[in-house]
Structure 1
Amino acid sequence: MKNLLLSFALFSVLISCKFYETEPIQVEKPHKDSTIVDIDKDENGCLASAGYTWSKLNQECVKAFTGMQLNPVDNASTEDETLCTYVLFNENADKAEIFLPDDKSFIVTKNGQSKSWIYNDYQLIAHNGYELKKAGVLVFSGDGEIGNKVSGSDNPDGQE
């Protein structure tokens, strides 16, 4: 009887344990689109955290703030780059892309032989640097030099 009871216990243990190999656990790899770098890209593939934005004029990712900086007329001494407008010209300088502070951009086209570029009610004028007018009202102006400016300094980086 002992042997029968021992055999039954051993048989029960063998049946309750899984001695066959189970399938390995599948670890889901993150999709390429879910990486941190890809999450930070805009719909055109520009890396926003690195300062890139899509240029309609150049058809590539650019750093708009490397263009010509125009400061708001109502706050001309501002050092807040987020309030400024930036201008990037094409190679022929017959077109320019205007990057407004609200992240919108548009392309202005040179008006014949004059020193102005026009788009709807916007007009970019080359006059003692550059001025951007909207509906005839001056809204942004700058010295016409490329790159960021710090007020009170001739050096674009603000260093002596």
Structure 2
Amino acid sequence: MKYVALILVSFMLSCQGSVQKDIPNDSSSSLPPIGGTKDKHGCLIAAGYTWSKVKEECIRPWEGTITMNVTDTSTNFETATFVLMDSIKQKAELFIKEEDESILLDSVAPHLYANKHYKLIEENHCWSLVHQEEVLYEEKK
């Protein structure tokens, strides 16, 4: 009985060894990665994830953020942009489709975040995104 068990164990181990040899361990394989393409931070693009500088993790911009709608649909094919505030409300992160990565704005006054190009202003409990004195997006409540 002892010999039968030993033979079975050696047979099973030899089978596993041959299976592992058939699996390519070359990272330059032509097969796409499981789950789709990832960005430089490891965020799964096909699932809608992008890197958040504020949270320092992959997020879906439309989840847990402020959604603002485009004000002029005749000049812009995108209908929304998203804003994420940090927990202490010192930074606002913009997720705008036309930009390659998110944009950070600093708190400069109560209800106002800004950088050189954008202003995020809260008036009457609704946010507006301004670029070159033009309101691009507005929050609808």
TM > 0.5 fold call: yes
| Counterpart-to-counterpart distance in 1, 2:95 and 2:24 | 39
1:115 aligns with 2:111: yes
Q: CA RMSD in A?
A: 2.7
Measure how far apart 1:47 and its partner are: 0.7
Of 71, 85, 98, the match for 2:81: 85
Measure how far apart 1:59 and its partner are: 1.1
The structure that is helix-richer by fraction is 1
1:127 aligns with 2:127: no
Partner of 1:4: none
Q: Unpaired segments of 5 or more residues in structure 1?
A: 1-23, 145-160
| Counterpart-to-counterpart distance in 2, 1:94 and 1:86 | 17
Aligned pairs, number = 116
Partner of 2:6: none
Which AA in structure 2 matches 1:27? D
Q: Unpaired segments of 5 or more residues in structure 2?
A: 1-17
Of 133, 136, 142, the match for 2:133: 136
1:71 aligns with 2:79: no
Q: What SS is found at the alignment partner of 1:123?
A: strand
Q: What SS is found at the alignment partner of 2:40?
A: coil
Q: What SS is found at the alignment partner of 1:98?
A: strand
Which AA in structure 2 matches 1:68? I
| Counterpart-to-counterpart distance in 1, 2:56 and 2:95 | 14
The structure 1 segments of at least 4 consecutive aligned residues displaced by more than 2 Å after TM superposition are: 30-39
Higher RCO structure, 1 or 2 (CA under 8 Å, sep 6+): 1
Which AA in structure 1 matches 2:135? L
The structure that is strand-richer by fraction is 2
Q: Check 1:38–1:45 CA distance in 2 against 1; reply closer, same or farther (3 A cut).
A: farther
Measure how far apart 1:134 and its partner are: 0.5
| Counterpart-to-counterpart distance in 2, 1:31 and 1:73 | 50
Measure how far apart 1:137 and its partner are: 1.1
Q: Deviations over 1:40-76 (max 9, x none)?
A: 1111000111111001121110111111111111039
Greater Cα radius of gyration, structure 1 or 2: 1
